[in-house]
Every structure is written in structure tokens, then in C-alpha cells.
Amino acid sequence: MRLLTASLRKLVRRPASRNTLIAMAGLLAIVYLSVGVSARTIDDPETRDGIAAVVTFPAAYGNLAGLLVTFVGLAAAAWAGSVAGAEWSWNTFRLAVARGESRARYALVTFAAATLLLLVAWVTLFAFGVGLALLGGSVAGLAAGDLGDPVTLGRLPLVLAAGWFAVVLSAGIGFAVAFIARSQVAGIVAVVGLYFGEQFAAIVVPADLLRLAPMNASSALAVEAGRGGPGPDLVVPLVMTVLYLAAAMGAVGLVARRTEVA
């Protein structure tokens, strides 16, 4: 607990943590205000209905979660990569080992602290996004809809949990690659490469096989949680996401134990 608390304090104080959250909030504001402004100038009913789903509840809840999984996932990978890479560039990993900390435990607890901060950021951004959806709908001249739809609200905790876990996988891959490569940039490059690589692979790889890939599995986890709640369709993406995250953290622990620390 002491190490986890210390790691949380360390990460909270880093400018990158604050700046990443502010950047994501700013991006959300741009998206929703742009949607609201665009909707006022569109006369086509079908196009306007599509835009309305983004800012009209309860559909806006699911659209917001999907948007956050993509954008926050990439931002989380970049941030987690900067955290892992900084352990080498700032020599904090070496100092922790010199103080007698377990190498693997220190690295894994650092990531655990990062996941807790991601949970706070995820919930904060979702709440902020709900407010922006209301603002965007007001700008567009659309009714807010039913924010208190009981079916959607009953499913919302699972949607939030699944979306956060999807983001954690992106962060875990970014953290692992950056820690192993000792580079803050390597993590985000790896995640972006996986994300776009899976999109291009869809041309030649069967869909049933491609859905087992890391980014597709984590995205499917969030989508299925919003679509039908707990059920068999959640099992495969959940299992694959857990396996990929476990493999990433296993690699971090192995490298932490075996690496030379001068």
C-alpha cells in the first residue's frame, strides 16, 4: 500500500497527467461543439438524425463511450508510455531498486497506480462529455431526450467498466513496450501501429480471427457491453483483453527482474 500511495502521488504531480486530461477534455469540447454547429446547417433528415444520436439521450451515452474508448485509449497509451519511459530517463527505477524495492513489484505497482488514475480520468471525462452532449444538442436546437432512461442507466456501470478496461489494455501495451524499450515514444508507436495495422489487416484476415487481435478485442468489449449488457457476447473480448493485459504485465515483470541496473 505504501508503494502504491507513493506511485499515485508521483503520477498525480507529473505535468503530463494534468496536460493529457486537459487535452482530452478540449478535444471532446471541439467534437461536440462542432457537431452542434454542423447540425444547425444540415437540412437532410437522415444526416440530421445521425447527428442527433450523438447529442440526444439515451443514445448519446453509448456514442460518448465509443468515442472515449478510441481517443482516450490512444492518449492513455501515450501517457503510460511516458510514465514507463521516464522510469529509465529519470533513473527512478534504478533508485527504487537501490533502496531495496522488488524490481517486478515496483514496475507492476507503478502500472497499477496508472490504472487507478485512468479510472478517475475516464469517469471525469465521461461526466464532462455528458455535459458537452447537452450543450451540443442545445446549440443544434435539438431536444435533450431521456437522460434517465432506466434500461440505459442500468447498463451504464457495465459500459463504464468495460470502456475503462479497454483503455487499460491500450495503456498496458504502451507501458510494457516503453518499459522494455526504455523509450517514452515506443509505447504510443506500438499502440498506434496495432490500431491501424488491425484496420488494414481486415482486407486479408478473416473477421472471426481479426476480432481476437488486441485493439479489436478491447473495442468489442466496450461495444458489446453497451449493446446487450452481460452475456455470452462479452466472454470472448473479455477473455482476450485479460490475456493480452496479463501478457503485457508479465513481460514487464520479467524484464524488470532480469535487466541490468547500474
Written as one string, the DSSP assignment of 109-160 is HHHHHHHHHHHHHHHHHHHHHHHHHHHHHHHHT---B-TT-HHHHHHHHHHH
Integer Cα distance of 41 and 239 in angstroms: 45
Contact 121, 24 (CB under 8 A): yes
The three cell numbers of residue 206 are 478473416
Interval 199-217: pLDDT, tens: 888 888 888 888 888 998 9
Contact 64, 133 (CB under 8 A): yes
Per-residue pLDDT band at 187 (split at 50, 70, 90): confident
Per-residue pLDDT band at 248 (split at 50, 70, 90): very high
Per-residue pLDDT band at 139 (split at 50, 70, 90): confident
Across the range 169-178, mean pLDDT stands at 94
Q: 86 pLDDT exceeds 90?
A: no
Integer Cα distance of 250 and 254 in angstroms: 6
Half-sphere CA count of 187, side-chain side, radius 13 A? 30
> What pLDDT does 52 receive?
77
DSSP-derived secondary structure letter, 63 = H
Averaged pLDDT score across all residues of the chain: 88
Integer Cα distance of 68 and 63 in angstroms: 9
- CA 231 to each of CA 66, 158, 160, 226: distance values in angstroms, whole numbers, following the listed order: 19, 11, 16, 11
Across the range 60-69, mean pLDDT stands at 90
Q: 49 pLDDT exceeds 90?
A: no
> What pLDDT does 117 receive?
96
> What pLDDT does 28 receive?
94
Half-sphere CA count of 121, side-chain side, radius 13 A? 31
Query: At which residue does the C-alpha cell 478491447 appear?
Result: 218
Q: 261 pLDDT exceeds 90?
A: no
> What pLDDT does 163 receive?
93
Per-residue pLDDT band at 167 (split at 50, 70, 90): very high
Paired residues of 145 in beta bridges? 57
